[in-house]
Amino acid sequence: MADPVALGAMVLEVALGWPGWLYRWVGHPVGLFARIINGAQHIGNRGGAAARRVAGVFTVALLLIVAGGGAWALQYAALSLGPAGWLLAAAMAWPALAMRSLDDHVRAVWRALRMGDSAAARRAVGMIVGRDTADLDENGVARAAIESLAESFCDGVLAPLFWLLVLGLPGAWAYKALNTADSMIGHPEPDLRDFGWAAARADDLVNLIPARLSGVALCLVGGGWRIMWRDCRRHASPNAGWSEAAMAGALGVRLAGPISYDGVLRDKVWIGDGPPARWEDLGRALAIYRRACVMVFVVVGAIWLR
């Protein structure tokens, strides 16, 4: 039942992305999740560790009710309209995917690096990563963009699509709500460690299968199997290492390594072998990403036609 909805959503996203005029007009659905999370954090992230954890669990439950329950109601209403309802459901699933949107953001970084405009490249990469970017050199910018592209292939493409196929519209939007919560509060810092615990663990769970599928997809179109199997567990996240290690192996470069967040240098381990990533490698990474997206299109189409 979800196959034509998924295929339609993918076509809409690849054709249109999420246009700036539309964002200025209505924003993006994840903005609602962000407002819920900010409000819950203001109310619940206080008191002792146990109280903060309970508040975090309630926050995750509220997000699932709003995202999953709301999407179920919208899907039910859409599909009750008959054949036209499939297109409406696809339009409602469209913002959950980010195939073209991710490509547009990363391509802006690549274009600036190719033109030698380091300042523009740092501004562009600052829109898609959480690390400090002000002091990054060209190699640092390229590495950050490649890592974001690899990880977001899971978070922005394969995982929401996976849950859309498995659970329909409620699955896709419940995933996006949990992923938004993890990005906002699922951090190990003392002020968020307890309140964000449930969000981080829930995101780990829903990405368990998609993350591994993402790594496999990237290796199928770009190679890198040896590095993926060797380094997939070197990442702090139990899931993000799969796609990053696959991309590092496909490109023959090193990713991850020491990174600065909020002025604090974190000595992360390197993933992959070879030299540091350069701007040319970012172009190669985009090519691998696009081939992986085409393969996903083919797979979803085959599922629909089976």
pLDDT per residue as tens digits for the range 162-181:
999 999 999 999 999 999 99
Mean pLDDT over each residue of the chain, to the nearest integer: 92
At 268 the pLDDT is: 81
Contacts of 30 (CB under 8 A, 6+ apart): 176, 177, 180
Q: How would residue 48 be classed by pLDDT, with cut points 50, 70 and 90? A: very high
- The values of phi and psi at residue 2, to 5°, are -85, -10
Phi first, then psi: give them for residue 80, nearest 5 degrees.
-75, -10
27 pLDDT band, cuts 50/70/90, is: confident
Question: What values do phi and psi take at 39, rounded to 5?
Answer: -65, -45
- Residue 265 has what pLDDT? 67
pLDDT at 43 over 60: yes
Give yes or no for residue 263 having a pLDDT over 70: no
Section 12-19 average pLDDT: 91
Token pair, residue 214, equals 């993402």
Q: For the chain, how many structural domains are there in total?
A: 1
Domain extent at residue 224: 3-305
List, in order, residues 6 or more apart from 17 with CB less than 8 Å away.
Answer: 100, 101, 104
Quick: pLDDT tens for 100-115: 999 999 999 999 999 9
pLDDT at 253: 95
What single-letter DSSP state applies at residue 277?
A: P
Distances (CA, A) of 137 to 6, 123, 149, 229: 39, 12, 18, 30
Residue 53 or residue 18, greater confidence: 53
Tokens (6 digits) for 292: 């992986």
Say what the pLDDT of residue 257 is: 77
At 262 the pLDDT is: 67
Give the alpha-carbon dihedral of 153, 2, 18, 41, to 10 degrees: -70
Task: Take residue 261 and report the two structure tokens written for it.
Answer: 């967040």
Nearest partner of 106 among 140, 148, 64, judged by Cα: 148
